Amino acid sequence: MVRVTGNFQSESPIHPKALALLESAFEAGWADPKKLGQASAKAALLRNEAIESIASHLKIHPSQIETFGDPALGHHLSLTALMQERSQLVHSAIDRSEIFAIAQSARTTVLPVNHDGNILGTHSPSPHSVLALQIANGETGVIQKCDEIIEDVQPELIALDATVSGFQVELPRRWNTALFSSASWEGPAGVGILAIADRSVWRNPLPHISAARTGLSAYLPLLLASALALEERVSMAREEELRRRQLTTAIRSELSKIADCDIAGNLATSLPHITSASFMYCNGEEIIRSLAMDGFSVDSGSACTSENLEPSHVLAAMQVLTHGNVRITVHSGTTHDEVMGLLRSLSSTVIRMRA
Amino acid sequence: MKEIDARGLLCPLPIINLGKAMSQCESGDELLLHSDDPATQSDLNAWSRMTGNTVNPITATSFLIVKK
């Protein structure tokens, strides 16, 4: 009998076609596109083609795009770049820790969320407010009604975080910066993409001398692989969305049969590949270790699995059980057998731990 | 009134100990939980919603629980 195993952690392998491209990309794209010379000219051509392709799939203009090597740096390039001393930062209680870190040095308003993870806007606009708005949450998959939140908050400027939603959710009507991560469409993890709608309100927050907008760039071979991965994912978007939603529906249905299981958010208003579920009276770390023994990898937002022993602020803000939590991510290669194998292992683990 | 001293215990032990104690309580019984684990307060909100038991915070680390 073949043992079924599977990866359900948030990180996914790079798209197979992007992986196949990488070797030739390293051969063709090693030169600095900004320099003179034949190899550099060729690299510049490849770079421009990649950016045009990415821009068209993300429905933004190529001239708005900046690329860089570390998506985590992107939160400064996206949000800090819009802020001034007088700015009031508005962000949600379920935003990324990077946003909370930026908020430590600003006047801040934190928007609460309801039990479904929907951000509750406020009708008290500040004349110099900058709204940091995560389009979809990475822990729960919950997609925000961005246009409504922007209408409620009436911010002066808006920094969108599309690092989880990627191309899957359209940008709202109004925005000033939008941050993407190549990993969200199975491209290489080390590629960040920033769209700047209007340069007049964007100020480079990093030390700089050059007049270039950021002076940063993603490593060209990785950018080429990212562009191809995006192209492939977009071409299969409808089928893949349906497939993932069916698998996640099965996951949620089976989990709801386990007693005292608290599932975060509604699938109808969430990305189709993420499920966060907590099991009362169970230890998150022990669940993860038990699943790993059976060959299944999952994430957890429980305190016992975090470095600082703090529970997930996202689950706490939604008033979802934070202990005994597992986060299941369905990927392009995830099969029905893998999902069923994971659910069997998870169910028996929970029963054993509660005995 | 029954008391559970879960101070110094990390998540999920305070809630597990609470659950065990509640299983021996009758409807309307009160129980005092002491816990300084940072996850306890938010977890008690979810636990209350899921079990129907009432949670009244007395201090940041003490909670009066009433069995439904």
- Categorise residue B4: left if φ over 0, alpha if ψ from -120 to 50, beta otherwise: beta
A128 and A264 part of one domain: no
A218 and A273 part of one domain: no
In degrees and rounded to multiples of 5, residue A301 shows phi and psi of: -105, 10
The set of catalytic residues of B is 11
Distance from CA of B66 to the nearest CA of A (A): 18
Which of A201, A235, A269 terminates a domain? The answer is A235
As for how many domains chain A has, the answer is: 2
Q: How far apart are CA A7 and CA A296, in angstroms?
A: 6
A210 and A269 part of one domain: no
pLDDT score recorded for residue A305: 63
Q: How far apart are CA A225 and CA A231, in angstroms?
A: 10
Do the domain assignments include residue A205? yes
A231 and A241 part of one domain: no
Which helix (H) or strand (E) segment holds residue A344: the answer is: helix A336-354
Distance from CA of B54 to the nearest CA of A (A): 15
CATH number, domain containing residue A312: 3.90.1150.10
Which of A208, A235, A262 terminates a domain? The answer is A235
Q: Are residues B50 and A311, on separate chains, in Cβ contact within 8 Å?
A: no
Q: How far apart are CA A82 and CA A176, in angstroms?
A: 8
Query: Is A276 part of the contact surface with chain B (CB cutoff 8 Å)?
Result: no
Distance from CA of A256 to the nearest CA of B (A): 13
Do the domain assignments include residue A1? no
Nearest CA in chain A to B42: A316
Do the domain assignments include residue A11? no
**pLDDT averaged per 10 residues in sequence order, chain A, 355 residues:** 78 91 88 89 94 97 94 91 94 95 94 96 80 97 97 95 97 98 94 94 86 82 96 95 96 96 96 97 94 94 70 93 95 94 97 92
| Domain B2-66: CATH architecture, name and number where available | 2-Layer Sandwich (3.30)
User: B11: which residues sit within 8 A by CB, 6+ positions away?
Assistant: A302, A303, A304, A311, A322, A323, B37, B39, B40, B43
A263 and A160 part of one domain: no
Do the domain assignments include residue A176? yes
A216 and A261 part of one domain: no
- Categorise residue A324: left if φ over 0, alpha if ψ from -120 to 50, beta otherwise: left
Task: Please write the tens of the pLDDT for every residue from B9-46.
Answer: 988 999 999 999 999 999 999 999 999 998 899 899 99
Where do we find the tokens 């550099």? A40
A200 and A267 part of one domain: no
Q: How many CB atoms lie within 10 A of CB A295?
A: 15
Query: Is A1 part of the contact surface with chain B (CB cutoff 8 Å)?
Result: no
Q: Which of B10, B11, B45 shows the shortest C-beta gap to A319?
A: B45
User: B51: which residues sit within 8 A by CB, 6+ positions away?
Assistant: B22, B68
**Helices and strands (DSSP H and E) totals, chain B:** 2, 4
Q: Is the ipTM of this complex over 0.90?
A: yes
Distance from CA of B42 to the nearest CA of A (A): 5
pLDDT score recorded for residue A209: 80
Nearest CA in chain A to B19: A281
Query: Is A309 part of the contact surface with chain B (CB cutoff 8 Å)?
Result: yes
Query: Is A260 part of the contact surface with chain B (CB cutoff 8 Å)?
Result: yes
- One-letter amino acid identity for A115? H
Nearest CA in chain A to B13: A281
Q: Are residues A323 and B10, on separate chains, in Cβ contact within 8 Å?
A: no
Exposed e or buried b per residue across A225-250, where buried means at least 16 C-beta atoms within 10 angstroms of its C-beta: bbbbbbbbbbeeeeebeebbbebbee
User: A270: which residues sit within 8 A by CB, 6+ positions away?
Assistant: A136, A140, A141, A142, A143
Radius of gyration of chain B, Cα coordinates, nearest whole angstrom:
10
**Is the preceding omega at residue A127 within 30 degrees of 0, hence cis?**
no
Domain ranges for chain B: 2-66
pLDDT score recorded for residue A212: 72
Per CB-CB distance under 8 Å, the chain B contacts of A321 are 43, 46-47, 50
Q: How far apart are CA A194 and CA A81, in angstroms?
A: 11
Per CB-CB distance under 8 Å, the chain A contacts of B16 are 281
A221 and A325 part of one domain: no
A145 and A129 part of one domain: yes
Per CB-CB distance under 8 Å, the chain B contacts of A283 are 12
Q: How many CB pairs under 8 A join A and B?
A: 58
Do the domain assignments include residue A121? yes
A211 and A129 part of one domain: yes
A284 and A153 part of one domain: no
pLDDT score recorded for residue A62: 96
A161 and A267 part of one domain: no
**Band of the pLDDT at B6, cuts 50, 70, 90?**
very high
* Mutation site, B9, B10, B11, interface A, largest A CB count within 10 A: B11
DSSP state of A62: G
Q: Are residues B46 and A321, on separate chains, in Cβ contact within 8 Å?
A: yes
Q: Are residues B47 and A278, on separate chains, in Cβ contact within 8 Å?
A: no
Are the CB atoms for A31 and A40 separated by under 8 Å?
Answer: yes
> Which domain covers residue A123, as residue numbers?
16-235
Exposed e or buried b per residue across A72-92, where buried means at least 16 C-beta atoms within 10 angstroms of its C-beta: ebbbbbbbbbbbeeebbbbbb
Report the pLDDT averaged over residues B3-9: 95
Q: How far apart are CA A177 and CA A325, in angstroms?
A: 33
Do the domain assignments include residue A289? yes
Do the domain assignments include residue A33? yes
Per CB-CB distance under 8 Å, the chain A contacts of B21 are none
Which of A203, A235, A267 terminates a domain? The answer is A235
pLDDT score recorded for residue A206: 87
Q: How far apart are CA A252 and CA A273, in angstroms?
A: 11
Are the CB atoms for A79 and A130 separated by under 8 Å?
Answer: yes
Interface of A with B in 324-343 (CB under 8 A): 324
Q: Are residues A281 and B42, on separate chains, in Cβ contact within 8 Å?
A: no
Are the CB atoms for A299 and A285 separated by under 8 Å?
Answer: no
Distance from CA of A73 to the nearest CA of B (A): 29
Radius of gyration of chain A, Cα coordinates, nearest whole angstrom:
21
